[in-house]
């Protein structure tokens, strides 16, 4: 039964996968082509004829089928349904990338996101909520998502400086937390603190360092607008800005994220606006009755955060990217900063101005 089933089902799935490739200009990754090759092997390999190998053959078929389902549902469905609005936002992304001299190929944009901005780096697919294109205050977060693919560009001379600086930070993280863990083991410290430091170390290594670097890429790209957007996101959706570490946390707490943004603004000689943002940030946290817990510095050491800013800036400029400098040209990033200026200084007329600007940015 399995022999005839696999021959028929694998052949059909190969046809489906081949047809899917025709739905987009080019496949999102080589693993898609590899899936077809694997199906052919599962169908034709005589090594599976042994009855003892039948269970393995079925498991292999299921694995490849699941992979093709993922490609179809997560990537190709989004790309194939692209409409005029998505074409407009892809053109906007091209202009945005040109302004900052983005070093590698830009992702494709989909308006299918159901959970804010995110990027699927497996398929180079950036997902944005449908209505965000009509509003400007959150759009700076696009720059954060553009940083994630840089970490996958191994052995690419265009991203070498960025990855070199990131590896230096990873080494500093390892040295810092290893030393702290040893010291805590020798001291009379609570189990809670030791567990928190251990969780922090794991999270810094697995995700936090990358998220901090992506925040810094966004800040260096679009300047104050990125920090304002972070404040806006926390006000709308944030919980505790001083969230204590927990195992397998994907993102650092919002407060240290804002701390590195303010440091980065100072590095860009934007100290005045950094002070404005810091003042409103502190006011927001005061209204929410949030304050820094004791021992918080252990989880987010200030010297490590500052070093992230220095290294990320070296990596950013080393790739040839153009940092924010408050220039006067009519650029997208100037428009995003002007939006925040108008939001604070002329809130009554902001919605009308924003509507006119977004219609000009994204003509249909």
Range in 29-43, 139-153, 249-263 with the lowest mean pLDDT: 29-43
Structural domains counted in the chain: 3
Residue with token string 């079925």? 58
Task: Note whether residue 242 is domain-resident.
Answer: yes
Are both 71 and 157 inside the same structural domain? no
| Contact indicator for 93, 106 with CB cutoff of 8 Å | yes
Are both 73 and 88 inside the same structural domain? no
Are both 33 and 121 inside the same structural domain? no
Are both 224 and 197 inside the same structural domain? yes
Residue 328: pLDDT band with limits 50, 70, 90: confident
CA-CA distances (angstroms) from residue 58 to 64, 72, 139, 209? Answer: 10, 21, 46, 40
Are both 93 and 191 inside the same structural domain? no
What range does the domain containing 90 cover?
84-135
Q: b/e per residue, 241-273, with b = 16+ CB within 10 A?
A: bbbebeeebeebbbbbbbbbbbbbbebbebeeb
Range in 87-91, 142-146, 190-194, 254-258 with the lowest mean pLDDT: 87-91
Look up residue 164 and give its two tokens.
């070199």
Are both 116 and 197 inside the same structural domain? no
Alpha-carbon distance 92 to 66, whole Å? 34
Are both 162 and 54 inside the same structural domain? no
The contacts found for 52-60 with CB under 8 angstroms, 24 or more apart, are 54/2, 57/2, 57/6, 58/2, 58/6
Task: Note whether residue 49 is domain-resident.
Answer: yes
| Structure confidence at residue 98 (pLDDT) | 96
Residues whose CB is less than 8 angstroms from the CB of residue 55 and which lie 6 or more positions away in sequence, other chains included = none
**Mean pLDDT in residue range 88-108:** 92
Task: Note whether residue 140 is domain-resident.
Answer: no
Are both 89 and 74 inside the same structural domain? no
Alpha-carbon distance 149 to 214, whole Å? 10
Residue 361: pLDDT band with limits 50, 70, 90: confident
Residue 1: pLDDT band with limits 50, 70, 90: very low
pLDDT one-digit tens code per residue, 30-85: 455 677 787 777 777 766 666 666 777 777 777 877 776 666 555 555 555 555 66
Are both 174 and 318 inside the same structural domain? yes
Are both 24 and 119 inside the same structural domain? no
Element (H, E) at 118: strand 118-120
Max Cα–Cα distance, the chain, nearest Å: 76
Are both 332 and 198 inside the same structural domain? yes
Range in 69-83, 244-258, 318-332 with the lowest mean pLDDT: 69-83
Which of 184-188, 284-288, 317-321 holds the top average pLDDT? 317-321
Alpha-carbon distance 265 to 114, whole Å? 31
| Structure confidence at residue 185 (pLDDT) | 87
Residues whose CB is less than 8 angstroms from the CB of residue 326 and which lie 6 or more positions away in sequence, other chains included = 223, 270, 337
Are both 181 and 276 inside the same structural domain? yes
Alpha-carbon distance 314 to 305, whole Å? 15
């Amino acid at each position: 039964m399995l022999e005839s089933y696999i021959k028929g089902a694998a052949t059909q799935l190969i046809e489906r996968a081949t047809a899917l490739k025709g739905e987009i200009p080019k496949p999102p990754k080589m693993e898609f082509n590899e899936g077809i090759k694997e199906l052919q092997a599962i169908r034709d390999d005589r090594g599976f004829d042994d009855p003892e190998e039948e269970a393995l053959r079925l498991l292999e078929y299921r694995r490849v089928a699941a992979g093709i389902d993922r490609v179809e549902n997560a990537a190709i469905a989004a790309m194939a349904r692209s409409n005029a609005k998505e074409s407009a936002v892809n053109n906007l992304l091209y202009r945005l990338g040109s302004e900052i001299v983005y070093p590698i190929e830009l992702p494709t944009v989909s308006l299918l996101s159901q959970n804010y901005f995110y990027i699927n780096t497996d398929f180079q697919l950036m997902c944005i909520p449908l209505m965000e294109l009509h509003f400007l205050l959150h759009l700076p977060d696009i720059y954060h998502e553009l940083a994630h693919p840089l970490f996958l560009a191994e052995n690419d001379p265009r991203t070498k400086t960025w990855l070199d600086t990131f590896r230096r930070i990873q080494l500093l993280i390892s040295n810092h937390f290893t030393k702290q863990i040893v010291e805590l083991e020798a001291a009379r410290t609570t189990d809670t603190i030791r567990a928190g430091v251990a969780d922090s170390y794991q999270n810094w290594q697995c995700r936090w360092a990358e998220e901090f670097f992506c925040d810094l890429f966004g800040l260096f790209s679009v300047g104050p607008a990125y920090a304002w957007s972070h404040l806006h996101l926390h006000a709308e959706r944030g919980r505790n800005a001083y969230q204590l570490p927990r195992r397998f946390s994907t993102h650092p707490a919002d407060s240290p994220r804002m701390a590195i943004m303010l440091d980065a603004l100072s590095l860009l000689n934007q100290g005045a606006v950094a002070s404005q943002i810091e003042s409103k940030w502190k006011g927001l946290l005061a209204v929410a009755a949030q304050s820094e817990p004791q021992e918080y510095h252990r989880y987010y050491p200030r010297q490590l955060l500052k070093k992230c800013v220095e290294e990320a800036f070296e990596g950013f400029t080393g790739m040839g990217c153009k940092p924010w400098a408050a220039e006067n040209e009519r650029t997208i990033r100037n428009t995003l900063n002007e939006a925040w200026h108008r939001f604070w200084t002329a809130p009554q007329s902001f919605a009308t101005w924003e509507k006119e600007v977004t219609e000009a940015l994204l003509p249909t």
